[in-house]
Amino acid sequence: MKGTFTLGIVLVLLLACVGAVSAVTVANGGFETPTVSGSFTNDVTAADLGGWNVVHIDHIGSYWAAAEGSQSIDLAGYFAEGTISQIITNTDPTKTYVLSFEMAGNPEDGPTIKQVQVWWDTHLIATRTFDITGKSKDTKISMGWKPETVSLPKPTGTSAELKFIDVSGENPHVQGQDTAWGTALDNIVVEEEDNNVPVPEFPSIALPAALIVGLIGAVLIIQKSKDN
């Protein structure tokens, strides 16, 4: 009987130590803010796109079907390859992370193969490509949105810069080089690797667990009194 109560006390104390878990968050990963008026906002430059630092991108509304929600971006502005970046906070230097995002390409014109670089904590981590052959902007399916995942190394500190650079064209500053039709991005998420099950906060588990242990102890006491 003492063992039962001891177990209950230990369980409650352990669970009471479980507080709010700091998690990394990508602000505006679906590009749903600000609301695009019309089909798209052309060549957004030097602006804060709801948490993103932006150079030469088009913010897409109804112009094509988004992968998630109702808005996305074209990572190329008016004949200029674009860049988006964001400082991700609450990173843990002892942990690795996984980046996931949806990728497509502006199907209106070439280049046929769209390319985007992924940078993390000042390092080039990956380059992803998308072929727009046979694609159209009518529906999510016809856009051909493709899920991508990238393993991210341990950050050097408690924050890290996440950056996407369109590298589809060879000369982004010369009109006619087809760089106004770039990589489409949406639904950007960063999660701790192998940490898909969130840890609940106290008292979401501690209180119910303590009640269950207490009930078990009460039943055992009643049963023992009957046996005597």
Query: For residue 123, what is the domain's CATH number?
Result: 2.60.120.260
Whether the bond into 111 is cis, omega within 30 of 0:
yes
- Residue at 124 is within a domain: yes
Q: Model confidence at 11, in pLDDT bands (50, 70, 90)?
A: very low
Residues 113 and 214 in one domain: no
Q: Do 188 and 99 meet the contact criterion of CB atoms below 8 Å apart?
A: yes
pTM across the whole model: 0.74
Range ranked top by mean pLDDT from 140-144, 166-170, 204-208: 140-144
The pLDDT assigned to 223 comes to 58
- Residue at 28 is within a domain: no
Residues 187 and 212 in one domain: no
Residue 94 φ then ψ, to 5°: -95, 0
- Residue at 27 is within a domain: no
**Structural domain of 135:** 40-192
Residues 171 and 214 in one domain: no
Q: Report strand pairing: 146-152 vs 52-55.
A: unpaired
Q: Do 111 and 132 meet the contact criterion of CB atoms below 8 Å apart?
A: no
- Residue at 197 is within a domain: no
Residues 57 and 7 in one domain: no
Residues 155 and 59 in one domain: yes
Q: What is the mean pLDDT of residues 62-79?
A: 93
Give the residue, 22 or 189, on which the prediction is more confident.
Answer: 189
Which of 29-33, 67-71, 111-115, 218-222 shows the lowest mean pLDDT across its residues?
218-222
Number of structural domains in the chain: 2
Give the residue, 104 or 14, on which the prediction is more confident.
Answer: 104
- Residue at 168 is within a domain: yes
